[in-house]
Chains A and B, each alone.
Chain A
Amino acid sequence: MSLNFYRRVAFGLSLNDKKPDDPLNWALNQVNTLPDLLWPGSIPSEKEMRKKYGEWVYGDRKILRKKYKNDKNAYKKAKDELRIKTGERFFELNEHAIRHYQTKNSKQPVFERFWLFWGNHFAISEKDFLAEFSTGPYQREIIRPNMIKTFEDMVQSVTISWCMIHHLDNSESVGPNSKSKQWNPRETINENHARELLELHTVSPSAGYTQEDVIQLAYIMTGWSHKWSNKELETGDVWFDQDKHQKGEKQILGVKYKNDAKRELFKVIHDLATHPICIKFVSTKLCRHFITDEPTAEMINPVINVWKNSDGNLVEIHKEVIRQAFKFNNNTHKFQPPELWLMQLSKIFDLNIPAPAEKMNYQFEFKPSRRQQQLTWWLEEIGHSPYRAKQPNGWSDFEVDWVSPELLLRRLWFASKILPNFIKKENNGHEFILKCLEKNFDDHSKMAALIQNYKLELTKKDIERKYGIICNLPGVLKV
């Protein structure tokens, strides 16, 4: 078996990792249980973070805008201070540290790879202040615990999570025959969340649903909204507001749903999450993520079968994806998107990434330090800030979306200009890099020959060239 399997389903091996005797079982055994989050620094709860979100929007919208309505500059200054006081400038940095510490140090790195996959399947794109306050906690508290349950459980939790409800505007959706509509005739349904639940999260357009199906699902979803209050604004808990709910029977993809208030949603989610087209769509996406851009029926069908036989048990599904990734490991190529590449380099070369927890202490007094901002900044610069996908369909799994002059140049930039500064002191020297290559790449001697000229590390430039070259070789950009 080729060594790239450890990068295909995980992040590669660090020098301290023991090389597994049985790579397939090593991987399979990692997805049974939910690993703890290891970050020694602060891990705030979703609820806590929503409160911070509320403090920020309330402070800005309700207080500062009124207070400084005639003084643009004073308003700007006060707003900047509020950003610091509420942690608006800080929390995303901390989330990136939690995430990258986990992928680097987890005892179940294969589990973490699936975590990244699901977080992106149920993506929260860049909207309002979600990336600053909510997307990270959502990934930890909504996505993660469901990874040892069923796909249906995951869809349910995601659909009624505050983060997704806010992201796709469902709180603004009001049924045309609801009580709320009578009080306020201007209110209407908002189809956004219903459409994405069909298109991105479950059955995909290949199910052939119509605009009417979208509207009907939006009707079922009316009422699922944040509890609004004057102080919390839109950051209250999600609840089912009967007054906004569209009454009467609904029909989606030919199935009728009787008038049953909040229970309607769980029934339709059950039908969507177990729909054969949904199973095929998501199985294909899993194979594409781990195996190759255009997975074949030979790869996908075993996953579909396991899905059906296990009633959508994600542990079993993950295991089958691993088996297929193992089976096709030596004759497929899979491009590694920038964040994943960075995580793998961080693991393989044991880089000082993320910043240590004690450096991530934040006092809500001054703007975050340079060290605190670094990881987030790099992720943006290499084109893959994980919680800021541009659209609700998340980041692409296709190579063609990741290869452009600038994106390749930025990898060269990161590998040569940034990475060498984050190698631990004890790991300086040519021997270290050779050992890391040997542990992770079958053609390590060929790779070593390419950097032979710089082995003496006479100047800083030599080290820059060495890592610039190694990290951008075809076998490192891809598995």
Chain B
Amino acid sequence: MNCTRRNFLIGGSTTLFLSGFFPKLSLASIQKKNLIVISLRGGMDGLTAVPVIGDNRLKKLRKRLILENTLKLNSDFALHPKLEIFHQLWKKDKAAFVHATNIPYTGRSHFDGQNLMETGAHTPYTEKTGWLGRGLLASDIIGKGLAISLPMPLLLRGVPQNNNFFPSPDFVQTKLIDSIYNEFTGAHNELIRSTFDTIKKRPISMQTATNSDDRDKLALEAAKQLKDPSGPRVAVFDLDGFDTHAAQGGVDGAHADELEEVNNIVNILYKNLGTSFDNTLIVTLTEFGRTIKQNGANGTEHGYGSVILMAGGLLKKSQVYTDWPGLKKKNLFEGRDLDSTIDSRAVYNSAMSVCFNKDPDFLRREVFWGDNLPDLSQELFKV
């Protein structure tokens, strides 16, 4: 069959009906809900992660990047074989995908694009805070962010006292901080002083040394923290290496290795969050997708539309949510890229509204300057 422009959106009108309305405190909202964002830097190829099997044009344009043994999702879409845990969760209504989506950025620069995927803004380098940081601040959730990386990602900036976990090789005496803390006076030392405050509040398990090359251990610790009712409510993982201009390959290529890392993190979170997984939402974030056509080096160039991978018990059901633009030349963005028909910020705004128990319209105004981002929480998440 030929998958052309079709509307997969069901119940679109309920959005209007429910906008502005948000249920009062229910039992579900008393329980701590976790939002986990996995940044996929370099430009994740949505058509490698979630290939459209209903369209022969993909095969024609990508002769050398063809996937075998994909995991079938429905009659139109399949899943990359390395995303195996998503397939398992799909069967339990705990995995879903938003396709042909991205931030409203078409410039194809990594640095501008990554800046915008994290700030949520329209012009690169104009905002110094991340949408997730602003969302937490607007929801009065302070000191509940956890970054699993050495530098603090821009995405989480804008709310004070976030933590990050990427332990040093030896135990560090936090007592040393007491000896220098009072020396950090004045506005120009405020950032460092507040970071010391965060360190002092860390749980014991985060003070022990470990090997930070071991991503499994980091994901395990993150799961442990998120499971704790008084622990962080937001975690951010950072992966790079999706910029596969060359040797992108199919089932075993460079892109597949990166997807395997995503799969691994989600797998560990799933296995270790236990029942907390039911109150968790995992979403991915990338700066752009990649060109439909393979380039001369069996890779792909910077593109536009991509996919959001989602997992967790807060998902409404297993579905590929998309307003599919089609792959005919005239349907492609600038004749070369999968188009983006859903502003991915609408997904993130809705995800925050569900996890932070905030009215999506309120967050949209506080975090995204009142941009026109439809509320998708009814379609995508358990509200």
Contacts and interface: CB of A to CB of B under 8 A. Distances in A.
Given A391-B111, A413-B172, A172 B297 contact: yes
Which DSSP category, helix, strand, loop or mixed, fits chain A's interface?
Answer: helix
Q: Which A-B residue pairs are the 7 nearest by beta carbons?
A: A187-B296, A404-B152, A413-B168, A172-B297, A468-B176, A383-B150, A406-B166
Contacts of B188: 333, 478
B54 to A, nearest CB: 25
A324 interface: no
B179 A474 contact: no
Nearest to A390: B240
B172 A409 contact: yes
Contacts of B112: 199, 205
Nearest to A126: B240
Given A188-B295, A474-B184, A413 B169 contact: yes
A412 B200 CA distance: 14
B296 A172 contact: yes
Which DSSP category, helix, strand, loop or mixed, fits chain B's interface?
Answer: loop
Interface stretch (A260-268, A343-351, A394-402): A394-402
B331 interface: no
Interface stretch (B102-110, B310-318, B343-351, B366-374): B102-110
B271 interface: no
Contacts of A392: 110-111
A121 B123 CA distance: 22
6 contacts: A169-B246, A190-B296, A199-B109, A392-B110, A400-B128, A412-B173
B140 interface: no
Given A403-B191, A406-B165, A413 B109 contact: no
B183 A195 contact: no
B164 interface: yes
Contact of A409 (B124, B199, B240): B199
A104 B226 CA distance: 45
Contact of A465 (B176, B184, B295): B176
B28 to A, nearest CB: 31
B163 A172 contact: no
Contacts of A406: 150, 164-168
Contacts, number: 134
B151 A404 contact: yes
Contacts of A465: 173, 176, 179
Contact of A169 (B114, B245, B293): B245
Interface size class of A (residues with CB under 8 A): 35 or more
Nearest to B147: A404
Interface of A: 169, 172, 174, 184, 186-188, 190-192, 195, 199-200, 205, 211, 214, 333, 381, 383, 390-393, 399-410, 412-413, 416-417, 450, 464-465, 468-469, 472-474, 477-478
Contact of B180 (A381, A399, A473): A473
Contacts of A473: 180, 183
B176 A412 contact: yes
Interface in B176-201: 176-177, 179-180, 183-184, 188-189, 191-192, 195-196, 198-199
A400 B157 contact: yes
Interface string B325-367: 0000000001000000000000000000000000000000000
Which of A333, A408, A409, A416 is the most central at the interface, judged by chain B CB atoms within 10 Å of its CB?
A: A409
B179 A186 contact: no
A54 B135 CA distance: 49
A19 to B, nearest CB: 25
Interface residues of B, number: 52
Contacts of B169: 381, 413
A468 B245 contact: no
Interface of B: 41, 107-112, 114, 124, 128, 147, 150-152, 157, 162-170, 172-173, 176-177, 179-180, 183-184, 188-189, 191-192, 195-196, 198-199, 202, 240, 245-246, 293-297, 301-302, 334
Contacts of B108: 191, 195, 211, 214
A443 B128 CA distance: 33
Which of A214, A403, A464 is the most central at the interface, judged by chain B CB atoms within 10 Å of its CB?
A: A403
A198 B165 CA distance: 36
Contact of B191 (A393, A400, A417, A472): A400
A403 B296 contact: no
B128 to A, nearest CB: 7
A190 B163 contact: no
A405 B198 contact: yes
Which of B168, B189, B334 is the most central at the interface, judged by chain A CB atoms within 10 Å of its CB?
A: B168
Given A190-B301, A405-B195, A468-B173, A410 B157 contact: no
Contact of B107 (A211, A408, A416, A477): A211
A413 B195 CA distance: 16
Contacts of A405: 163-164, 195, 198-199, 202
Given A184-B296, A410-B168, A469 B180 contact: yes
A381 B212 CA distance: 9
A472 B195 CA distance: 13
B192 A403 contact: yes
A412 B152 CA distance: 18
A152 to B, nearest CB: 23
